[in-house]
């Protein structure tokens, strides 16, 4: 939508009220649903998942750049996961001060010591970006890459249908045709199916590792349903379930509740609080040491840490993974913003001095996936003030704060007033790959996830309640 047409819609309050009701009902009709916070394990009562009223305009060149670079990110994550020397070198400082990353790394070492049993590699990841406008030029800048539990693919498959319908009802037929189709769930499931087939047992199941309370279960069910279409059995298990009923046979095949597991798909286990007891850690170690295909395996989990992201931005590092491929290196590097080490020494001291002088220009990041972990503004000064002289600072990295332009929109949430807000958006691209031995059998960008939040929120994704789902309107 041209800005004039968009502003005309946004200011028509009578039409907005009507469109909001249409949007909610269309979301319900398309299965864009979530459980209620008061009953997170029951699907007896559900509501529409939060969405924007209108799609967000995105420059075509920016969108195509994200699609094109995603297969290179897939390749990069796969190569890092296969390079234990690189992981050891890069994460040495982090694991000395970050207990969670250290615990994961200990499992990684144990797997290497015992020998990797499974030569099938499966990656379902999502690279997230914002875009900046400088001197009339739009620039795509990476926030992070999620190699673990990259969520949103199920719901994202239907948001574009809702927004297309909204613009049609609003009489904007030409604009409605510029909303592109998006169905990442099919692509994500296709990669899971390929890994299951390579495992080679038709009786074996795909196991989703899940948490106790899951209000966004529908997002996962969409992918599960794609697997069931191919007559592949899926099961959902918590760490506690796997600890109680999981076992390895003499060939290291994984059985849970007497069912052989071909693929372990982690949708839980990326935060310290997800491991409530030693039994949860024992279950993770058992799965990692099994013949089952892991998504992600422990090495790929570590490849997604913020410390790895920071080191990849240093001169000469990408060339390690893409020798004689300068164009690939250039494409990847073009998406990087400033990333700074906080390791002990002059380089880390300089970064801390910058952050304390102008905290609003930076983001302080711990080694965690998922929204709600990053540190902004004055809180940066508070955190760094406590750790700047100790090794504890090495648990973080520092990143330039991306400065996207805001766009007015309405955010539809249960029980919230309908009001116009200045919003910023994150655009994530889903990547899938399947490797067998050294051969890459599948490497694709399978769709996108658009999330939008009010500018009053510094951090947070859909799961944390700050952002809502959105779709792309190309211009």
For the purposes of burial, counting CB atoms within 10 Å of the CB of 412, is it exposed (0-12), middle (13-18) or buried (19 or more)?
A: buried
Can you give the pLDDT at residue 69? 98
The CB density around residue 230, as the number of other CB atoms within 10 Å, is 12
- What's the rounded Cα separation, in Å, for the pair 319 and 81? 16
Residue 406 is encoded by which pair of tokens?
Answer: 């805001």
Mapping DSSP onto H, E and C, the string for 247-278 reads EECCCCCEEECCEEEEEEEECCCCCHHHCCCH
Q: Global pTM?
A: 0.96
- What's the rounded Cα separation, in Å, for the pair 144 and 130? 10
Please report, for the chain, the start and end positions of each structural domain, with discontinuous segments joined by +: 3-337+411-474, 339-401
- What's the rounded Cα separation, in Å, for the pair 229 and 231? 5
**Whether 379 contacts 24, CB under 8 Å:** no
- What's the rounded Cα separation, in Å, for the pair 31 and 49? 9
**Whether 129 contacts 427, CB under 8 Å:** yes
Q: Which long-range contacts (CB under 8 A, 24 or more apart) does 97-101 make?
A: 97/391, 97/392, 97/394, 97/395, 98/366, 98/367, 98/394, 98/395, 99/272, 100/271, 100/272, 100/367, 100/368, 101/302, 101/305, 101/307, 101/367, 101/395
Residue 2 is encoded by which pair of tokens?
Answer: 């041209």
3-state helix, strand, coil in the chain (%, to 5): 45, 25, 30
Can you give the pLDDT at residue 410? 97
Tell me the pLDDT of the chain (475 aa) as tens digits. 556 567 778 889 899 999 999 999 999 999 999 999 999 999 999 999 999 999 999 999 999 999 999 999 999 999 999 999 999 999 999 999 999 999 999 999 999 999 999 999 999 999 999 999 888 889 999 999 999 999 999 999 899 999 999 999 999 999 999 999 999 999 999 999 999 999 999 999 999 999 999 999 999 999 999 999 999 999 999 999 999 999 999 999 999 999 999 999 999 999 999 999 999 999 999 999 999 999 999 999 999 999 999 999 999 999 999 999 999 999 999 999 999 999 999 999 999 999 999 999 999 999 998 777 899 999 999 999 999 999 999 999 999 999 999 999 999 999 999 999 999 999 999 999 999 999 999 999 999 999 999 998 776 666 656 899 999 999 9
- What's the rounded Cα separation, in Å, for the pair 75 and 343? 28
Can you give the pLDDT at residue 265? 98
Can you give the pLDDT at residue 459? 65
- What's the rounded Cα separation, in Å, for the pair 372 and 460? 4
Phi, psi of 191 (to 5 degrees): -70, -40
Can you give the pLDDT at residue 466? 82
Can you give the pLDDT at residue 462? 64
- What's the rounded Cα separation, in Å, for the pair 428 and 149? 13
**Whether 473 contacts 56, CB under 8 Å:** yes
Can you give the pLDDT at residue 234? 98
Picking from 164, 163, 161, 158, the residue whose alpha carbon sits closest to that of residue 177 is 164
> Would you identify the CATH topology of the domain 339-401?
Dna Ligase; domain 1 (3.30.1490)
Can you give the pLDDT at residue 185? 97
Beta strand 375-376 with 254-256 is unpaired
């Amino acid at each position: 939508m041209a800005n004039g047409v968009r502003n005309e819609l946004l200011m028509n309050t009578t039409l907005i009220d009507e469109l909001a009701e249409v949007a909610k009902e269309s979301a319900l009709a398309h299965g864009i649903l979530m459980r209620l916070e008061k009953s997170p394990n029951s699907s007896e009562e559900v509501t529409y998942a939060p969405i924007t009223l209108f799609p967000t305009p995105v420059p075509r060149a920016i969108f195509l750049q994200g699609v094109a670079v995603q297969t290179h990110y897939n390749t990069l994550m796969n190569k890092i996961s296969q390079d234990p020397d690189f992981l050891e070198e890069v994460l040495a400082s982090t694991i000395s001060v970050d207990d969670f990353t250290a615990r994961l790394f200990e499992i990684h070492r144990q797997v290497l010591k015992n020998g990797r049993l499974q030569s099938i590699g499966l990656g379902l990841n999502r690279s997230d970006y914002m875009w900046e406008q400088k001197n009339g030029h739009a620039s795509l800048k990476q926030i992070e890459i999620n190699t673990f539990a990259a969520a949103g693919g199920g719901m994202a498959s239907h948001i574009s249908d809702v927004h297309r319908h909204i613009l049609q009802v609003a009489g904007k037929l030409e604009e409605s045709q510029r909303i592109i189709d998006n169905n990442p769930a099919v692509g994500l499931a296709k990669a899971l199916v390929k890994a299951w087939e390579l495992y080679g047992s038709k009786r074996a199941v795909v196991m989703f590792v899940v948490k106790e309370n899951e209000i966004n279960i529908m997002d996962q069910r969409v992918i599960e349903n794609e697997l069931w279409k191919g007559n592949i059995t899926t099961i959902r298990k918590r760490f506690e379930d796997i600890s109680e009923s999981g076992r390895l046979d003499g060939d290291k095949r994984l059985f849970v509740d007497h069912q052989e597991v071909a693929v372990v798909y982690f949708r839980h286990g990326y935060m310290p609080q997800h491991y409530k007891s030693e039994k949860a850690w024992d279950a993770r170690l058992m799965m990692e040491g099994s013949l089952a295909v892991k998504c992600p395996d422990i090495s790929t989990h570590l490849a997604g840490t913020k410390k790895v992201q920071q080191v990849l931005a240093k001169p000469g590092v990408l060339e390690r993974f893409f020798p004689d491929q300068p164009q690939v290196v250039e494409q990847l590097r073009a998406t990087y913003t400033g990333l700074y080490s906080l390791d002990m020494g002059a380089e880390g001291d300089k970064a801390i001095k910058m952050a304390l002088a102008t905290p609003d220009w930076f983001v302080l990041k711990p080694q965690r996936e998922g929204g709600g972990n990053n540190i902004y503004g004055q809180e940066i000064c508070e955190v760094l003030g406590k750790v700047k002289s100790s090794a504890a600072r090495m648990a973080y990295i520092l990143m330039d704060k991306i400065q996207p332009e805001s766009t007015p929109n309405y955010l539809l949430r249960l029980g919230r007033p309908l009001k116009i807000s200045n919003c910023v958006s994150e655009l994530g691209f889903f990547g899938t790959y399947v490797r067998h031995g050294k051969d890459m059998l599948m490497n694709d960008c399978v769709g996108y996830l658009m999330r939008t939040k009010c500018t009053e929120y510094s951090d947070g994704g859909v799961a944390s309640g700050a952002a809502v789902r959105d779709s792309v309107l190309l211009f």
